[in-house]
Chain A
Amino acid sequence: MKKAFPIFALLTLVLLSYALYEALVAAPTEQTMGDVQRIFYYHVPSAWTAFLLFLVNFVASVVYLVNRSDKADMVALVTAEVGVVFCTVVLVTGPIWARPVWGIWWTWDLRLTLTLVLWLIYVSYLMLRRFSSGSQTPVMAAVLAVFGALDVPLVYFSIWYFRTQHPSPVIGRGGSLDPRMARVLLINWAAFLCFAVLICWSRYRLERLKREVEETQALEALLEPRGVR
């Protein structure tokens, strides 16, 4: 396991550089939007990665509520943190693309609003984890994750009825996306996924060490004879 981490890190690095080359050089330039469209290779993979991480967070939270495993809680914590980072990337790259193409930075459309609400829910999740103390944190965080996940379809329907201005999805609907672009997109997604797994992995190890240290310190404090400190 210890050896696997640097190897995986190296592989991720290679894949990321290859994906960068593909996205910036090899992919064909979009006809109407020009080079600005290349941000698509970062925006969309980040979004998919963030949603996937939030899904893992939900599953891990349910697992934690069922069997109270410490590992599930750590997975939930790590995926929420990294998911918020990727979601932030989505929310930042979106307006950068939208300004030259749509002429506006932001619009309250279905997918934008849904992403923003997801981001808000998970930031509140992280704040709850930060502000609560002790062993009740994992339980409350897992409960909030369940609430958040149940909220997503309701947010979806409410905003769907509210308004929709986003360009309809180009992926999976008739496939008007150039196959070369689709290939670059998938390469980038693979790279981003590896990158996300890498950060989660390293954060997971850090969290495990942190908890081991805390446990050891608590144990030492118990074993120490009274009145020494």
Chain B
Amino acid sequence: MSSLSNISTATLTKDLRLEWRSKDAINSMLFFALLVVVIFSFSFNPTAEESRQIAGGLVWVAFLFAAVVALNQTWARELRNQVLDAYRVSPAPANALFLAKAVGNFVFVSVLEALMTPLFIVFYTLRALGPAWQLIPLAMLGTWAVVVNGTFFAAMSIRTRSREIMLPLLLFPISIPALLSMVEGTSAILTGEASAKFWIVLLAVYDLVFTSVSLLLFETVLNAE
């Protein structure tokens, strides 16, 4: 167990430091999300009441697309210099690597969300009519849902031809219930018309199921020859 947490921490620290120095993922995600916000704003030009109805969808679609940018880069770095092959032959547990990568992506996407949310509020003049604090567990669970599956499928799509396009093709169909929960939960909180509790519970179940199955099967995927 200690080796698992040691290796996870080491990999996570390395990834965070690399990202801190290069800022590749966060910059491309931020700019991409910004573009989505601006384009959506132009195409719909909503009033305050309308934007409360549609903002849940816009926010999460923008974050989902932006997250794919970061997720695609997760493993690309490890392919150079055969780092992944070296990892495969080492006795280190595969799940330590997976957890580190997933947590790293969670940090990146969370930072993106923290920076983009004020912008959304400004552009769409948003104000929550429901209990706004519920947005925090909703966002955290939703982000983990996208990131845990995204990290897993990125490890799969890196082995295919046309790897960049393969990740969303695998990730989006499986993410439909998570995306629906995030969008509906956010809309419920913003409009204050319904309770978001069901969606938060559903996201928690989704996270539990897919985190377990990812941890169960990651070694199989990593060692697939």
Q: Which residues of A does B touch, CB under 8 Å?
A: 65, 117, 120-121, 123-124, 127-128, 131-133, 135-136, 139-140, 143-144, 146-148, 150-151, 154-155, 157-159, 161-162
Chain A residues whose C-beta falls within 8 Å of the C-beta of B48 in the assembled complex? none
Min CB distance, A156 to chain B, in Å?
A: 9
Main secondary structure of the interface of A (DSSP, over half): helix
B181 touches A140 (CB 8 A): no
* Chain B: interface residue total (CB-CB under 8 A): 31
Known interface pairs A124-B169, A132-B159, A133-B160; A147-B174 also in contact (CB < 8 Å): yes
Q: Which of A65, A124, A143, A162 is in CB contact (< 8 Å) with B180?
A: A162
Min CB distance, B44 to chain A, in Å?
A: 20
- The chain A residue sitting closest to B201, CB to CB, is A157
Question: CA–CA, A162 to B184, complex, Å?
Answer: 8
**28 A-B residue pairs with CB within 8 Å:** A120-B172, A121-B173, A123-B173, A127-B169, A131-B160, A132-B160, A132-B161, A133-B160, A133-B161, A135-B225, A140-B159, A140-B221, A143-B217, A143-B220, A146-B213, A146-B217, A147-B213, A150-B209, A151-B176, A151-B177, A154-B178, A154-B202, A154-B205, A154-B206, A157-B202, A158-B177, A158-B180, A161-B198
Min CB distance, B171 to chain A, in Å?
A: 9
Chain A residues whose C-beta falls within 8 Å of the C-beta of B205 in the assembled complex? 154
Is B107 at the interface (CB under 8 A from chain A)? no
Question: CA–CA, A139 to B174, complex, Å?
Answer: 18
- The chain B residue sitting closest to A135, CB to CB, is B225
Is B114 at the interface (CB under 8 A from chain A)? no
Chain B residues whose C-beta falls within 8 Å of the C-beta of A140 in the assembled complex? 156, 159, 221, 224
Min CB distance, A87 to chain B, in Å?
A: 13
Chain A residues whose C-beta falls within 8 Å of the C-beta of B206 in the assembled complex? 154
- The chain B residue sitting closest to A121, CB to CB, is B173
Chain A residues whose C-beta falls within 8 Å of the C-beta of B184 in the assembled complex? 162
Question: CA–CA, A146 to B82, complex, Å?
Answer: 29
- The chain B residue sitting closest to A138, CB to CB, is B224
- The chain B residue sitting closest to A151, CB to CB, is B174
Question: CA–CA, A161 to B159, complex, Å?
Answer: 37
Question: CA–CA, A76 to B200, complex, Å?
Answer: 34
Min CB distance, B167 to chain A, in Å?
A: 11
A143 touches B166 (CB 8 A): no
Q: Across chains A and B, which 10 residue pairs bring their CB atoms closest together, nearest first?
A: A139-B224, A136-B224, A158-B177, A120-B173, A154-B177, A132-B160, A131-B160, A121-B173, A158-B180, A155-B177
Min CB distance, A73 to chain B, in Å?
A: 12
Q: Which of A127, A132, A150, A155 is in CB contact (< 8 Å) with B210?
A: A150
Question: CA–CA, A33 to B219, complex, Å?
Answer: 54
- The chain B residue sitting closest to A117, CB to CB, is B176
Chain B residues whose C-beta falls within 8 Å of the C-beta of A131 in the assembled complex? 160-162, 166
- The chain B residue sitting closest to A152, CB to CB, is B177
Is B16 at the interface (CB under 8 A from chain A)? no
Is B149 at the interface (CB under 8 A from chain A)? yes
A117, A120, A139 pick with most chain B CB within 10 angstroms: A139
